[in-house]
Amino acid sequence: MAFPERFSNLPEYAFPRLRALLDHHRPGGEPIAMTIGEPRHAMPPFLAEVLNGALDGFARYPANNGTPELLSSISGWIGRRYGVDLAEDRLMALNGTREGLFNAAIALSPEVKGGQVPVILMPNPFYQVYAIGALTAGAEPMFVPATAATGHLPDYAALPATVLDRVTVAYLCSPANPQGAVASFDYWADLLALAEKHDFRIFADECYAEIYRNAPPPGLLEVAQAVGADPERVVSFHSLSKRSNLPGLRSGFVAGGVQSIRAIRQLRAYAGAPLPEPLQAVAAAAWADEGHVAESRALYRRKYAIADEIFGGLNAYSPPEAGFFLWLPVTDGEAAALKLWRETGVRVLPGAYLSRDAGGDNPGAGYVRVALVATEDETRRGLTLLRDCLYA
């Protein structure tokens, strides 16, 4: 039996790799999970009543693009957050943002550009679905280093013009997973100018946009409006998983130009699975409420302070601007994760599992990613054990 070759060279996904690395070793203490980006703050309590009142929706097929109530709620949030007025034909609800990040590449990346195989750019390290989206769309994924030397954001403008002319899509995550770096207004504006010059779209993965220390991170939608960019160059993805502590809801949205959203909607109509209507009702209520977001953000800010206190004396520590990960430098990420597990029971993710070898280098190999998703007490205990084990 033959199998397709397009995915044959994929490494094992990050978390099965981690289990293979750690699980046949005994933990050196009471286990503390600091690996996966799964928020463990309380979900908004008022949503249970919303769900209970919408249960009859399970008896109907859900609206493919999003109910009018959900799309209106999303549009209202975009207006409050970014000052951008988007009509509902520029939005689509997602069954988890990963669905959108994957399907948008299939729907919007042309099969050929300039008579050549297209290129889809992505930062390195990166969210793994970017690479799968590129391969499925028949494009060449290109992993562009996002290291301390580049401010932990990719320098796409440094690529040769011959490469940029083949680009159909450039993914960017801001705030960045895993480094917590934030794309500034000028960064987005320069990337939009580059996209205009070389005729490609920007896919902005902004799922961590509501978790930050100080000023709200600028978003691609607001920058595109401010500089007068073509709306069809801009595709933005947001999620309730991080904003509202609802990873199990599997609810997000994609925003873009009318033609881009029409193409994504058409693919969804044939091959997608829309969110059940009761869950769309929950999502609409969550997007409409800011109080629970502010409370959750305050908790993350307290955990930033804990991390700064514990690691503040280490020259290697770079405080994240936003998001809920620490990106900590070590000699070898796998060796550090294994040592930490065997000696303390703290479980972290080797950085190499989030990046690829490119040009003979893996920019994640010398890091571990640490998720600040646990309670404050457990976060303090876990980070203290980590510091004493790896940096003493």
pLDDT tens by residue, 320-353: 999 999 999 999 999 999 999 999 999 999 999 9
Residue that is written with structure tokens 């690529």 in the block? 159
Q: What is the rounded average pLDDT of the residues 344-373?
A: 94
Q: What is the rounded average pLDDT of the residues 27-39?
A: 91
87-126 pLDDT per residue, tens:
999 999 999 999 999 999 999 999 999 999 999 999 999 9
Q: Is the pLDDT of residue 6 over 90?
A: no
> Looking at residue 272, what is its pLDDT?
82
CB atoms within 10 A of CB 377: 9
Q: What is the rounded average pLDDT of the residues 229-250?
A: 96
Q: Is the pLDDT of residue 301 over 90?
A: yes
Q: What is the rounded average pLDDT of the residues 155-164?
A: 98
Q: What is the rounded average pLDDT of the residues 49-65?
A: 95
Q: For the chain, give the percent of residues with pLDDT over 90.
A: 88
Q: How confident is the model at residue 171 (pLDDT cuts 50, 70, 90)?
A: very high
Q: What is the rounded average pLDDT of the residues 200-204?
A: 98
Q: Is the pLDDT of residue 368 over 90?
A: yes
211-238 pLDDT per residue, tens:
999 999 999 999 999 999 999 999 999 9
Is residue 336 a contact partner of residue 346, using CB atoms and an 8 Å limit?
Answer: no
Q: Is the pLDDT of residue 39 over 90?
A: no
> Looking at residue 48, what is its pLDDT?
94
Helices (H), ranges, the chain = 14-22, 47-52, 68-82, 97-108, 129-136, 161-164, 185-198, 220-227, 240-243, 258-271, 277-288, 291-311, 333-344, 376-390
Comparing 315 with 378, the larger pLDDT belongs to 378
Cross-strand partners of 204: 172, 236
> Looking at residue 334, what is its pLDDT?
96
Residue that is written with structure tokens 């999303």 in the block? 74
Query: What is d(CA 121, CA 358) in angstroms, rounded to the nearest whole number?
Result: 13
Segment among 72-76, 311-315, 326-330 with least mean pLDDT:
311-315
Q: Is the pLDDT of residue 315 over 90?
A: no
* Cα angle: 88, vertex 89, 94; to 5 degrees: 75
Q: Is the pLDDT of residue 175 over 80?
A: yes
Q: What is the mean pLDDT of the chain?
A: 95
Q: How confident is the model at residue 9 (pLDDT cuts 50, 70, 90)?
A: confident
β-strands 167-173, 252-256 pairing: unpaired
Q: Is the pLDDT of residue 287 over 80?
A: yes
Comparing 5 with 201, the larger pLDDT belongs to 201
Residue that is written with structure tokens 């514990």 in the block? 310
Q: Is the pLDDT of residue 2 over 90?
A: no
Q: For the chain, give the percent of residues with pLDDT over 70.
A: 100
> Looking at residue 242, what is its pLDDT?
95
Q: How confident is the model at residue 362 (pLDDT cuts 50, 70, 90)?
A: very high
Q: Is the pLDDT of residue 8 over 80?
A: no
The phi, psi pair for 33, rounded to 5°, reads -85, 115
Q: How confident is the model at residue 13 (pLDDT cuts 50, 70, 90)?
A: confident
Q: Which residue segments constitute the domains of the chain, with CATH numbers given?
A: 14-42+292-390 (3.90.1150.10), 47-289 (3.40.640.10)
Q: What is the rounded average pLDDT of the residues 63-75?
A: 97
Comparing 14 with 243, the larger pLDDT belongs to 243
Please state whether 284 falls in left (phi above 0), alpha (psi between -120 and 50) or beta. Answer: alpha
Q: What is the rounded average pLDDT of the residues 138-161?
A: 96
